[in-house]
Structure 1
Amino acid sequence: MWHGEYRDPRLVEVYDAEHLWGWEDDFFMRVLADRVTPRVLDLGCGTGRLAIAMAVAGHEVTAVDPARAVLDAARRKPGADGVRWIEGSFETLPPRAFDAAFLTGHVAELMVTDDEWSGALHALRDSLTADGRLILNTRDPAARPWQDWNRAATERPVVLADGSVVRAWTESDLEKERGTVSVVHHYLFPDGLELTSTAAHRLRDEDTLRDSLRTAGFRVEELYGGWGREPAGLSEDGELIVIALAEPRMLA
């Protein structure tokens, strides 16, 4: 899949203008403050909004993303010099280097295959200290969010830094055989240029999340359905927000 919002500088600008600080960021910062957490990983950091805030708060932050265009945008932001930026993915994570790892912004959904998801979780487990925390969020498939991923429900204006306006909308198709949702994002620029970005999302239910985390060496400490810490299935947010602890490795 193309994921143009992360790879095309024109779409990165649109993505950054649309994804401003929100209640989910407040939630993650509160979770971070729950414990003494000196060393933090932000995997799939995008344009760096959360990573920079964590660094400003005094944490030693490593931000990793495979897309160079979003990292370039992140490095240009105020406070970016307080973050260690790495172009890469979970395959490059150092062992036992972090006290907490964040996988936010529904990045978990972009790891579509079971092998990729398992590989990411095992790599994250190995990168954390014993009892280090993994914090992630993904959409709850029980909420059937794809039903509202159509032009009528999603078309919106996005105002860029120069004041110009891009019209954006999303269309999707549920692939029941693979359990994924194929998405096409459309962006219509003022000069008539239309760019598209394609993606596939894998929405795992609560049981699947818990099983995959346990297999990778995590213990789920908390699981919420919304940013107000509501139980799964009882929030209009339609999220599955997980805080999991890295279990100590058994000695051979």
Structure 2
Amino acid sequence: MNAEPCGDELESVPQAEFNDPRLVPLYDLQNRWGADDDFFLALSHEKPASRMADVGCGTGRLTLALAQAGHHVTGLDPARASLNLAQQKPDADQVIWLCGTVETLPTSAFDLILMTSHVAQYFLSDAEWAQTLGHLRRALVTGGRLAFDSRDPAARAWEGWDSGGEREIWTLPDGQQAETWATLDTVSAGMVTFTGYTHFLTTGETLRDSDTLRFRTEEELRSSLQEAQFEVEQLYGGWQRQAIGAGNGELIVVARAR
């Protein structure tokens, strides 16, 4: 199905890696199927033929796998360029694609909502996060589940994000080559700002993309979920369901709508 038009919503998600058609194919190269996808796909199998929403679905890597597994899937993302690429992939017609934010989701429509690839960390303020959780609860049936990942601030993952000037070279699907590198800019009060750079070797153009992520603690996640009428069922520290602090530096939440 065709994605709904975004209008001016594109400006509300400034991340160029999701919105710039030149960078979206690069995102796919840099973010291949991994242990996180295995985890969320296995979780989806616990109830066959579920009604699911993949919030922040991006270019549809996991979304399409969910549909291929027999689920009834809606892929939601505010980035038009990412959705355009997702819709060009095999079996894309099995998914309902929506261009928008969580307010777009219908009420009491889903058994399971996934929010993967650390999308939760893009909601920076407590008010924005609370509003997001409220809409996710509204979109779930009572007893439905929400699952998402957020990096554990105790693991200090950002310390490895500055490339120190070293660059990686990528060959894009159109044959063009690009080199990428990143800088860590600021770390303050649970907020981490970093900048990614992409230099296209053919044109000589360099794109700069600065992002800020919120690192919430386990206690902050639990409290916010409780206030939004969720009950935390599981909270893991890694993709093999390890305890917090003993896994991959993750906080992986599975919560049920009360």
Shorter-chain TM band: over 0.9
What is the aligned partner in structure 1 of residue 7 from structure 2?
none
Report the Cα distance in structure 2 between the residues aligned to 1:41 and 1:102, rounded to whole angstroms: 6
What is the aligned partner in structure 1 of residue 257 from structure 2?
246
Is residue 15–residue 210 contact of structure 2 (8 Å, CA) maintained in 1?
A: yes
Query: Which runs of structure 1 show a deviation greater than 3 angstroms over 4 or more consecutive aligned residues?
Result: 162-165
Report the Cα distance in structure 2 between the residues aligned to 1:69 and 1:162, rounded to whole angstroms: 16
Q: Is 1:213 equivalent to 2:206 in the alignment? A: no
Choose which of 182, 187, 212 in structure 1 pairs with 2:193.
182
Is residue 104–residue 136 contact of structure 1 (8 Å, CA) maintained in 2?
A: yes
What is the aligned partner in structure 2 of residue 91 from structure 1?
103
Mean Cα deviation higher: 20-29 or 99-108: 20-29
Letter of the 2:21 counterpart:
P
Which runs of 5 or more structure 1 residues have no equivalent in the other structure? 248-252
Q: Within 5 Å, which residues of 2 pair with 1:41-120? A: 41-120=53-132
Letter of the 1:243 counterpart:
V
CA shift at 1:163, angstroms? 4.3
What is the aligned partner in structure 2 of residue 198 from structure 1?
210
Report the Cα distance in structure 1 between the residues aligned to 2:65 and 2:121, rounded to whole angstroms: 24
Instruction: Give the % identical residues.
Output: 44
So what's the TM-score if we normalise by structure 1? Answer: 0.93
Report the Cα distance in structure 2 between the residues aligned to 1:239 and 1:170, rounded to whole angstroms: 22
SS in 1 for 2:164: helix
Cα distance change of structure 1 residues 147 and 80 upon mapping to structure 2, 3 Å threshold: same
| Superimposed CA distance per residue, residues 186-235 of structure 1 (whole angstroms, 9 cap, x where no aligned partner) | 11122222111121100101010010011101111011111111111112
Report the Cα distance in structure 2 between the residues aligned to 1:217 and 1:241, rounded to whole angstroms: 18
**Matched residue pairs, number?**
245
Is residue 206–residue 240 contact of structure 1 (8 Å, CA) maintained in 2?
A: yes
Is residue 148–residue 154 contact of structure 1 (8 Å, CA) maintained in 2?
A: no
Letter of the 2:209 counterpart:
S
Q: RMSD of the TM alignment (CA)?
A: 1.5
So what's the TM-score if we normalise by structure 2? Answer: 0.91
Choose which of 163, 174, 196 in structure 2 pairs with 1:151.
163
Which runs of 5 or more structure 2 residues have no equivalent in the other structure? 1-12
Is residue 48–residue 71 contact of structure 2 (8 Å, CA) maintained in 1?
A: no
Letter of the 1:100 counterpart:
L
CA shift at 1:164, angstroms? 3.8
Letter of the 1:244 counterpart:
A
Report the Cα distance in structure 2 between the residues aligned to 1:138 and 1:4, rounded to whole angstroms: 21
Is residue 37–residue 99 contact of structure 1 (8 Å, CA) maintained in 2?
A: no
What is the aligned partner in structure 1 of residue 8 from structure 2?
none
